[in-house]
Amino acid sequence: MKLIGRIFEVVAAAYFTGLGVSLIVAANLGSDPLTILEQGLSRFLGSTLR
């Protein structure tokens, strides 16, 4: 039962993170901090994380 609760928390956190990112982009405020970090690391390291 604890595992099901933990999975629900992870799914809910991913949903709300995606919702927050989409609201930032829809408000035309630019990108979210994690995307900026990923872009900076890919430029620094010369490869992508995807």
Q: Please indicate, yes or no, if residue 34 is contained in any of the structural domains.
A: yes
Supply angle C-alpha 41, 43, 46, rounded to 5. Answer: 100
Q: CA 35 to CA 25: how far, in whole Å?
A: 11
In 3-state terms the chain splits into helix, strand, coil percentages (rounded to 5) of 75, 0, 25
Residue 22 lies inside a defined structural domain of this protein: yes
The arithmetic mean of pLDDT across residues 22-37, rounded, is: 88
Is residue 35 a part of any domain in this protein? Answer: yes
Q: Is residue 31, in this structure, part of any structural domain at all?
A: yes
Q: What is the rounded CA–CA span in Å between residue 27 and residue 30?
A: 8
Sole residue written with tokens 């956190």? 13
Structural domain that includes position 19? 2-45
In this predicted structure, the answer to whether residue 50 has a pLDDT above a threshold of 70 is: no
Confidence at residue 47, expressed as pLDDT on a 0 to 100 scale: 82
Residue 50 lies in a domain: no
**Over the chain, what is the mean pLDDT?**
88
Number of domains in the chain: 1
Q: Does the residue 38 lie in any domain?
A: yes
Residues 32 and 24 sit within 8 Å (Cβ to Cβ) = yes
